[in-house]
Each structure stands twice: as C-alpha cells, then as structure tokens.
C-alpha cells in the first residue's frame, strides 16, 4: 500500500478545497483568454502556487499529472530524448550530477531535474549545466497552468513543477534527460515518463507513512520506476525485491558488486569492470569531489561517491552514450556538489555544509567526521518528519557543541523541542546554544572566535540553503 487510507483521504479533501479556490480565482480567469498569461513575474507565480498547492501537500497517484502531460504532448518525451530516472533514499543527487557532467563532456544536450533546491527554485531545472532562466521558467509555468485549467485538473506543487521541467526540456530539445525522483518512485510525478534506464541508489526506512513500513515495501515503491525490457542499474545491499521486480519486467540488470565492480589503486586510478568484460579506467584528481581532505596531509577516497559515480557511468552506457575515458576523467574531476561536504568560510569560521538529514546520510557524514583530528561543533536543524532521536544518538559522540537553529517553517522542529531532545540524551546544557534563523551565521562566528574547531552545518536542505544565502551575503558585502 502506498499510503495509509486516512492520509490519502485527508489529502484528497484538501485537494478538493484547493481546486475550488483555483477555479474561482479572478486572477486565473485571465489565463484562459487567448494570448494572455496569468503571471508576468516568476515570484508572483510561485507565491500563488504555494498558496493553492502547498509543497507540503502530497497527493498520491498519477492520473491528474498524466492528463495534463498528455495535453502538453509530454507523455511521448521518451521518443524524442533518452531518459534516465534515479530513485533511492540517499545518493540520488550526486549520481544525477555525475551523469549530467559526464554527458555534457561528450557534447550531449542535457536536461536535469532535481529536488529540493537550496537557495533558488531555478536550481531544480538545469539545461546544459545551467539553471533555468526566469523567463523560460515563467513561460513553462503559464503554459502548464493553462493546460491544467483547460482540463479542470488540480495539480500538486511537485506535479506542477515537474511538468514545467519536462516542458522546458521538450522545448529546448534535450538529447538526454535525467530525472531525480521526489518521493518513492512508482507513484512519483517523474514516473509518468518512460525511461530507458532506471538507477536505484541506497534504500533506507523513510517516508513510511507513504512508502510502507519495511525495506522490502519501500524497495517495491522505488523499483516502480523500472520499465519493461529496459535497463536498471542497482547499487549493492538493496532488498531482493528490487532485483525480483527487475526480472519480472525482463530488464537488463547491472548491480554493483554482482554485475560490475570498481577498484582503485594507491595513485587514485579507478577501474570499472562489468561481468561482460567492458572496462573503464578513470584517473581521480586529489582535489576532486570523490576525495576529501581531513587535514593538511590526509586524503581519503569517498567510496560512497565512487559508487554513485559508477552507477551514473553505467546509466549513460545503457542509454547509448559513447563513453571516452579521457572525457569522463575530466568531467569527474570538475564535478562539484552544492551542499554535499561542501567547504565554506564565513570570516574566520570554516567548515563544511552537508544536507544529511536521515540516519543513513548522517552515518555517511560521520565516517568523514571521525577522520578529523578533534570533535566538531555543529549547526543543526531538522524537519519534523525526520528521525531526530536516532540522528542525535548516532552523532553525539563526535560533537562538542550544538548550535541549534529555530527554523521559522511549519515543517521544522522547533528550537526548544530540539534542545529538549538533546538534553534527554544526556548532552550537557552548556554544550547547546539556540539561535533564531535570521542571522545565525554571524552570531555563531562571533561566539566561535576563540575556537579552532571545524564547523559542520547539517540536518536539512532548508538549513543548508539558509546558511549558503547568509555566506553569500557576507561575501557580497565585503
């Protein structure tokens, strides 16, 4: 079952209420007139969308989005472009960005759709490595809106924005489209498009109210992106359900450590070899995002990123990209990930930004932290649907001081609630400081003047996005 019945009916009731507001709006009536647009500014457009279809509202099912996609001619996008769809609990983003950069290095016109964003919605839709312009996004927004109004079909926030992305990719004639699943897979908005290759990264217990209470149930939802007679690339240690569904659909399967393997040498030469005998060798630069520097002398291979890199390469191979080792090497060494162990400086304050927000991702982050010479201070905030107790339990042995941010968002856990949770796990009150969100970077920098500890900012995309905005603002004001 994809969702508990009660949650489904509540969301449907909310959907009906929103539909009534939508169709009675005088502003939107303007959109149905020939040659006119409802919105002339992207900020006003998204302000309206958030009010009528809040991003927190999830409505399972593909019927509504499929109707509008058909109206816009998007349901046959796979006949125009090669499609790669990426699902999983963690590692989707890095896999997508590696695939994008490698494809671009081979002169493919590439569309990339990811979520959520950090500082600007435009980050979610990229064409040829660049964020979508406001002009193109606004045009797509108005066109999707007109189509949904014509069909009297209400779309969720994610359905609406997914159609905007697909429309942009269609209009710019992208040769390759890479889609990151938002939630689950089988009933995710991205799954209205037939893909030629599905990639499934790691799977952990998440969104259980929608995806199921066991890893096997969640795996079945993720594996819902696998298409009949196409290809699927799987990471290792996945529930058997993924491979079973792939076999049922007669998909060609490449699974890490079963159907292909990766090895590295002391001089950072990466080799990817399939059971069929295909081999690629990539020279990893010491300053690439597949390595991390824990101090001035120690350089560590990031095996999780190498694994995701291998998934992206196999995915591109599956859709027919004629891969060249030299171009892959250059692309990999130039790929960067915003908010994934991303170094930052704010005055004398230095450290890393990381969007780790669930136990599996936090465990991966801790594998980096434990290699540092000392305990770290952290800046932390968490959304209410995350396992904060488990995250704190996993992390507390590595952390000296907790700087908690009281996020002004209905989805976030309040600052006082986070503080109580830390205290309940025997973290001393003197090791906890609470801040408002408006200028927390400046206040933490002031408080940490005499400390030489590294700072890790983690816990949610929202927090990392706010931190990046404050860091950028300081650099602009220099």
Determine what percent of the chain is predicted with pLDDT higher than 70: 88
CA dist 145 and 38 (Å) reads 8
Stretch 15-38: mean pLDDT:
56
Stretch 78-93: mean pLDDT:
96
Range from 106-120, 183-197, 296-310, 374-388 carrying the lowest mean pLDDT: 296-310
Which pLDDT belongs to residue 15? 42
Determine what percent of the chain is predicted with pLDDT higher than 90: 72
Q: Do domains 5-255 and 342-476 have the same CATH topology?
A: no
Which pLDDT belongs to residue 5? 35
Closest CA to 14 of 48, 55, 42: 55
Contact in structure between 369 and 398 (CB atoms under 8 Å)? yes
Closest CA to 204 of 180, 186, 221: 221
CA dist 130 and 66 (Å) reads 27
Which pLDDT belongs to residue 371? 86
Closest CA to 472 of 2, 120, 174: 120
Q: Is the pLDDT of residue 299 over 90?
A: no
Highest mean pLDDT among 15-29, 156-170, 275-289: 156-170
- Lookup: tokens for 272: 């990817």
User: pTM of the full predicted structure?
Assistant: 0.91
Contact in structure between 192 and 75 (CB atoms under 8 Å)? yes
What residue has token string 């860091």?
471
Contact in structure between 142 and 168 (CB atoms under 8 Å)? no
CA distances from 409 to 10, 209, 303, 384 (A): 21, 21, 35, 10
Burial of 138 per CB tally in 10 Å (0-12, 13-18, 19+): buried
* Predicted confidence band of residue 298 (pLDDT cuts 50, 70, 90): low
Which pLDDT belongs to residue 133? 98
CA dist 332 and 313 (Å) reads 10
* Better-scored residue on pLDDT, 295 or 73: 73
Stretch 412-432: mean pLDDT:
97
Closest CA to 92 of 312, 253, 255: 312
* Better-scored residue on pLDDT, 37 or 141: 141
Which pLDDT belongs to residue 52? 87
Q: Is the pLDDT of residue 269 over 90?
A: no
Assigned architecture for domain 5-255 = 3-Layer(aba) Sandwich (3.40)
| Domain boundaries along the sequence of the chain | 5-255, 342-476
Q: Is the pLDDT of residue 36 over 80?
A: no
Which pLDDT belongs to residue 24? 45
Contact in structure between 141 and 45 (CB atoms under 8 Å)? yes
* Predicted confidence band of residue 32 (pLDDT cuts 50, 70, 90): low
Q: CB neighbours of 278 closer than 8 A, spacing ≥ 6?
A: 317
Would the CA dihedral through 119, 120, 123, 125 be positive or negative? positive
User: What is the rounded average pLDDT for all residues in the chain?
Assistant: 89
Q: Is the pLDDT of residue 123 over 50?
A: yes
Which pLDDT belongs to residue 448? 85
Stretch 148-153: mean pLDDT:
92
CA distances from 184 to 188, 215, 221, 252 (A): 6, 12, 6, 21
* Torsion-angle region of 464 (φ positive above 0: left; ψ -120 to 50: alpha; else: beta): alpha
Asked if CATH classification 3.30.70.1290 holds for the domain at 342-476, the reply, yes or no, is no
């Amino acid at each position: 079952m994809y969702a508990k019945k009660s949650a489904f009916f509540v969301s449907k009731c909310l959907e009906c209420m929103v539909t009534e507001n939508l169709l009675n709006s005088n502003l939107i009536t303007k959109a149905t007139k020939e040659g006119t647009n409802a919105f002339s500014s992207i900020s006003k457009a998204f302000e309206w969308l958030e009010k009528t279809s809040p991003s927190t509202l999830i409505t399972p099912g593909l019927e509504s989005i499929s109707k509008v996609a058909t109206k816009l001619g998007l349901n046959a996008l796979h006949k125009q472009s090669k499609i790669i769809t990426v699902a999983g609990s963690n590692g989707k983003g890095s896999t997508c960005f590696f695939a994008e950069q490698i494809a671009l290095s081979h002169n493919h016109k590439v569309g990339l759709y990811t979520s959520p964003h950090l500082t600007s919605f435009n980050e979610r839709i990229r064409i040829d490595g660049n964020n979508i312009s406001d002009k193109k996004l606004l045009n797509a927004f108005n066109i999707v809106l007109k189509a949904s109004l014509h069909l009297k079909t209400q779309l969720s926030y994610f359905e609406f924005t997914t159609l905007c992305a697909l429309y942009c990719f269609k209009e710019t004639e992208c040769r390759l489209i890479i889609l990151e699943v938002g939630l689950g897979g089988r009933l995710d908005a991205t799954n209205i498009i037939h893909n030629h290759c599905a990639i499934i990264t790691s799977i952990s217990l998440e969104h259980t109210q929608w995806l199921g209470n066991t890893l096997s149930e969640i795996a079945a939802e993720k594996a819902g992106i696998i298409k009949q007679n196409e290809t699927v690339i799987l990471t290792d240690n996945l529930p058997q359900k993924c491979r079973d569904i792939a076999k049922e659909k007669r998909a060609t399967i490449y699974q890490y450590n079963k159907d292909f393997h990766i090895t590295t040498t002391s001089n950072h030469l990466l080799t990817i070899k399939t059971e069929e005998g295909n081999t690629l060798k990539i020279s990893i630069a010491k300053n690439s995002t597949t390595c991390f520097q824990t101090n001035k002398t120690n350089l560590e291979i990031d095996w999780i990123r190498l694994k995701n890199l291998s998934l992206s390469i196999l995915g591109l191979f599956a859709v027919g990209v004629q891969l060249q080792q030299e171009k892959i090497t250059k692309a990999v060494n130039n790929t960067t990930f915003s908010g994934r162990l991303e170094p930052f400086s704010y005055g004398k304050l230095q450290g890393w930004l990381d969007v780790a927000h669930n136990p599996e991702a936090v465990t991966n982050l801790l594998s980096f932290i434990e290699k540092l010479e000392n305990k770290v201070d952290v800046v932390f905030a968490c959304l209410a649907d995350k396992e904060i107790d488990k995250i704190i339990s996993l992390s507390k042995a590595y952390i000296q001081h907790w700087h908690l941010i009281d996020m002004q968002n209905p989805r976030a856990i309040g600052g006082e609630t986070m503080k109580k949770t830390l205290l309940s796990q025997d973290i001393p009150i003197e090791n906890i400081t609470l801040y408002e969100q408006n200028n927390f970077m400046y206040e933490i920098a002031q408080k940490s003047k005499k400390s030489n500890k590294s700072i890790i900012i983690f816990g949610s995309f929202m927090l990392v996005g706010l931190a990046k905005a404050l860091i950028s603002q300081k650099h602009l004001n220099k």
